Amino acid sequence: MRILSASRGVAAAANEPTSGKPIQLIGIHAGASIIVHLRPAELWQEEPAAEELRICLEPLTGWAESHLKELCLLDAAAIESALVGLVLHPDGQPPNAFAVVRLVEDQSSQQLIEKLNLQRVDSFEQQVFENERCTVIIKDAKVFTVGPHGRAQEMADAAEFEQPTLASIEQLLEQTDDRRMLTVLLFRCSMRAGR
């Protein structure tokens, strides 16, 4: 089991005092074995400390940057935080990725619907939408969840409560801080299973 966390432009040990709350997996699909929490608007700032941190954390930040827009559907500058859960498949298929996105600024549901070309799925109490690529649940003016197309029921079930994951990851969640720019939790065997 590994925990990696970074804050304020420098790598930080997991036990350093910080002011945030532990990361919660509300909105993340049950069984996620790799958890990535990042603060894109801070991490991709145009300032030397943020740039140095991104370089030090390669290739992780390169992966995050290239997949962030595809997964979260917006540019990094618009995203205050993104909590990504990867559900790996033992047969080597690409992982299913789910993300809870908190925006820097409020956006109306209609703005998000138009920007992402979404269609309402009427069979849910929540604001559930889909396009040809993904399913989106809009929680409020700042928060939405995104996951694979056709996974609306699972996402709706995960929208209000933390979902179970590996016990070792659940134990480490208490040591995390949602104010850190980047946190990664994974179980080493997960990496082998996802090849």
Res. 5: pLDDT tops 60: no
For the chain, what are the domain ranges?
A: 2-9+26-193
- Rounded Cα distance between 114 and 94, Å, is 29
Q: Which residue has the tokens 């600024």?
A: 105
Cβ atoms of 18 and 154 closer than 8 Å: no
pLDDT score at 187? 75
Question: Which strands, in side-by-side order, build the sheet including 10-12?
Answer: 10-12, 2-7, 182-186, 34-38, 79-87, 96-103, 143-148, 134-138, 127-130, 119-120
Listed residue (90, 99, 96) closest to 189, CA to CA? 90
pLDDT score at 188? 67
The residues pairing with 103 across neighbouring beta strands, listed in sequence order, are 79
- Write the pLDDT tens digit of every residue in 148-184: 998 888 898 888 888 788 888 888 898 899 999 889 9
- Write the pLDDT tens digit of every residue in 39-53: 999 999 988 988 888
Ordered DSSP codes for 45-90:
-SSHHHHHHHHHTTTHHHHHHHHHHHHHSS-GGGEEEEEEEEE--T
Cβ atoms of 111 and 100 closer than 8 Å: no
pLDDT score at 70? 84
